Structure 1
Amino acid sequence: MRYELMRPDQIRAAIAANTPVVLPLGVLEYHGEHLPLGMDSLAVTRVFDRLEQTRELVILPAFPYGAASHAVRGPEGGAVHVGAEALVPFAEAMFYGLLRVGFRNIHAVIHHQTENFGQGMPTDLAFRLAGRQAVFKLIEGERGEGWWGNADNASYYEGHAAGDNPFNWVQVHPLMDQGVIDAFHFDHAGLGETALMLALAPETVDMEALAKGAPWYVAGAEAATAEEGERGVALILERLNRLLG
């Protein structure tokens, strides 16, 4: 279900069922001459297009204005960089709004600079911090300051062990975890990302643009196929199904 198309009764039903609410999160960044600027965002949105055919999801409008950086190429390559300092207040307000609606199973999924996700990079760190702050704000607003130290929360740690953790209400995940990376390809506009786009958004790919003298990071892209991309998509879908429960 697309959030912007849902009626209030459908939203109430999704809240009652604890249906996962997913936010496709990405950037607009140079991905060589053969791939679209929105590759990272498209990989997430097109995967969720497929996932919603097999399970109940609430899909939020995608947010592609992350911290792209100009590490790959300057702005003449088309990248739109929005710094993390601007993302945090926006994301906190958005997550807080979703929590106030009543959702408690919110997941942002990103495919940008996620090869070392445990360490974090600007976009995912901004949304992770924002999610934590939104949860703190909601709980303090409902229960008051000192809520955690109140005697009513004496079973807080036992609740965690049983899966009752308010800080799981908002989570941020990479599209590809280490297991998928080990079994597929992780690169920037190379074999892996080109194959994913050939499978998920073939209309956006121009393989003829892979000319000699292309940047080092696109090496191997000429060998990409839609079939290989489908193998990666299957791995991603299997992981997301496990992740979302």
Structure 2
Amino acid sequence: MSNSVLISELAWTEYEKRLAGGRTPVLIPVGALEQHGPHLPLNCDTVIPTAVCVEAAKRIGALVAPPIEYGYKSQPRSGGGNHFPGTTSLDGHTLVLMTRDIIREFARHGVRKIAIVVGHTENLMFTTEACDLAIRDLKAQGITDMKIIHMGYWEFMTEATMHKVFPDGFPSWNLEHAGVMETSVMLHLRNSLVDFDQVPKHAPADFPPYDIHPVEPHRIPASGALSSGQTATAEKGKYMFDEYVESIAAALTKEFAL
């Protein structure tokens, strides 16, 4: 019998056993395949929330679904833009329908506690829509006891940690794309995938408070990073990662009454 928290590694019989009673939460990481500068891999937005989900699941007796590894189109002011090679994106309605279908399938299995853990800012409103549509669909089928917790993992950083990681000031979550936080957490989780010698040294991007369509690539740093990760360390990464896991596990324990 597998002790794994990963649904994909379980036999169906073990999976059915783990779900008996409807109390076992299922955590669904939703990431992206998106450029993260010349120093980080394309799968940062999937690696980090998946790792957070796995460690949180171990603490609270949950299971982790295979991640959704493609996300909504990268936006210039939060991800550098969809024009970079390697960035491979979904239309919004595709992500909505995929996420809605996955939620409905888990409900069919008997799951009644689901957490959507987003790792790519641009996904948030589309996964919100997916949750809303899935709940509406399930209610129409007579399933009224489903509860979905929806989150971006980075929002669980406390002010104390913020000051510790960004002693010279925090640029903003949007400008943190491929910056100190993601570089640090990837150094902690997957050091072999980080080429620290290639970390950009330029100042944070300076965008106007509006978007332009079609996108004008010359307005975006050529590196793809929206701020520098030069002050990133594996120690900072562990500090942030541990806080994400502890805080998210606590939130799920509270909301799911585990």
TM-score (norm 1): 0.78
**1:162 corresponding residue in structure 2:** none
Q: Is 1:233 the equivalent of 2:233?
A: no
Structure-to-structure mapping, 1:5-44, within 5 angstroms: 5-6=9-10, 7-16=12-21, 18-44=23-49
Contact 2:34 2:87 in 1 (8 A): yes
Q: Matched residues in 2 for 1:211 and 1:176: separation? A: 22
Q: Matched residues in 2 for 1:138 and 1:86: separation? A: 20
TM-score (norm 2): 0.74
Percent identity, aligned pairs only? 23
Contact 1:37 1:79 in 2 (8 A): yes
Q: Matched residues in 1 for 2:116 and 2:200: separation? A: 35
Q: Residues 232, 212 of structure 1: CA spacing in aligned structure 2 closer, same or farther, 3 A cutoff?
A: closer
**2:84 corresponding residue in structure 1:** 76
**1:101 corresponding residue in structure 2:** 109
Instruction: Compute the displacement of 1:23 (Å).
Output: 0.6
**Secondary structure of residue in 2 paired with 1:95:** helix
Instruction: Compute the displacement of 1:201 (Å).
Output: 1.3
**Secondary structure of residue in 2 paired with 1:106:** strand
Contact 2:200 2:230 in 1 (8 A): no
Aligned length: 214
Q: Residues 210, 243 of structure 1: CA spacing in aligned structure 2 closer, same or farther, 3 A cutoff?
A: same
Instruction: Compute the displacement of 1:53 (Å).
Output: 4.1
- Structure 1: 5+ residue stretches without partners: 114-120, 144-164
- Structure 2: 5+ residue stretches without partners: 166-172, 203-222, 254-258
**Secondary structure of residue in 2 paired with 1:36:** coil
**2:8 corresponding residue in structure 1:** 4
Q: Is 1:175 the equivalent of 2:175?
A: no
Structure 2 letter corresponding to 1:171: I
**2:140 corresponding residue in structure 1:** 140
Instruction: Compute the displacement of 1:215 (Å).
Output: 5.9
Match of 1:200 among 189, 201, 208: 189
**1:116 corresponding residue in structure 2:** none
